Amino acid sequence: MKYGPDKWDERYGVDEYVYGREPNLFLKQNVKVIPKGNVLCVADGEGRNGVWLAKQGYSVTSIDFSQNAIEKINRLAQRNEISIKTICVDLLNYDFGENRYDGIVSIFAHFKVEEINKLHYKYFNALKPNGVFMMEVFAKEQLPLKTGGPKNISLLYDTQDIQNSFPSGKIELLKKDIVYLHEGNIHDGKAVVVRAIIRKPLDKEN
Ligand SMILES: C[S@@+](CC[C@H](N)C(=O)[O-])C[C@H]1O[C@@H](n2cnc3c(N)ncnc32)[C@H](O)[C@@H]1O
């Protein structure tokens, strides 16, 4: 991603929730496709998505490498009277294990294509059969827009990049969309995103 944890700590070192406290709309509209159970929320920032998922009855683990992010997730969880497991670690060095999660949710987590290929391979292994990977990221067309996302084309995607990173996944949705984001002050206005819902096939389908 464009910043290290110190930069994210700086961004999150304010009382306000810079991406808001409401969940991402794509996640909210599609959550039903994730089987009830364990969900991993990667690069969860201040926890708006992880905490909301826990309120829907999922057992949530949120990961982020910013300590300020983790503290804000824990505060938001407390305020909502739910419990959530938080891990402060660099996703690129983390062992996600195998067949552990019913869902992995990745909202606006931007890495170079080589890195997402490695990460998504690990996510796929960490999903249980029938588990779902759900993602929203900024598309390459977002580069000139001032409504959020990295200002580096190598951290933005086409649908093909995401398809290539899940060679054995069952693609239930993969498309580029123009959306109007209202997620705090940073994601605000017309944006171009890639949205994906990819399921790990049941063993018998492999
Ligand atoms: C654009 S924010 C999105 C936050 C959250 N998903 C949301 O939608 O509100 C990207 C997040 O990724 C986290 N992040 C970036 N690189 C990471 C890494 N290598 N390991 C763990 N977290 C990372 C940052 O700390 C930041 O919270």
Query: For ligand 1, atom 16, which residue shows the shortest CA distance?
Result: 1
Ligand 1 centre from 108 Cα, in Å? 7
Ligand 1 pocket test, candidate residues 3, 8, 147, most atoms within 8 A of CB:
8
Dist CA 123 CA 116 (whole Å): 10
Whether 108 and 11 have beta carbons less than 8 Å apart is answered as no
Q: Could you give the percent of the chain with pLDDT greater than 70? A: 98
Q: Is 187 in the pocket of ligand 1 (CB under 6 A)?
A: no
Give the per-residue pLDDT at 203.
Answer: 75
Query: For ligand 1, atom 14, which residue shows the shortest CA distance?
Result: 43
Ligand 1 centre from 10 Cα, in Å? 13
Q: Is 136 in the pocket of ligand 1 (CB under 6 A)?
A: no
pLDDT higher than 80, residue 205: no
Dist CA 111 CA 63 (whole Å): 15
- For the chain, where are the alpha helices, taking DSSP H only? 5-12, 25-30, 48-55, 67-79, 113-126, 159-165
Ligand 1 centre from 65 Cα, in Å? 7
Give 95-150 pLDDT, tens digit per residue: 999 999 999 999 999 999 999 999 999 999 999 999 999 999 999 999 999 998 99
Give 1-32 pLDDT, tens digit per residue: 458 999 999 999 999 999 999 999 999 999 99
Domains, the chain: 5-205 (3.40.50.150)
Where is pLDDT greater, at 75 or 185? 75
Give 53-108 pLDDT, tens digit per residue: 999 999 999 999 999 999 999 999 999 999 999 999 999 999 999 999 999 999 99
Give the per-residue pLDDT at 206.
Answer: 53
Q: How far is CA 68 from CA 45, 106, 176, in A?
A: 9, 19, 32
Q: Give the Cβ contact number of residue 64 at 10 Å.
A: 28
Give the per-residue pLDDT at 204.
Answer: 64
Picking from 65, 64, 76, the residue whose alpha carbon sits closest to that of residue 16 is 76
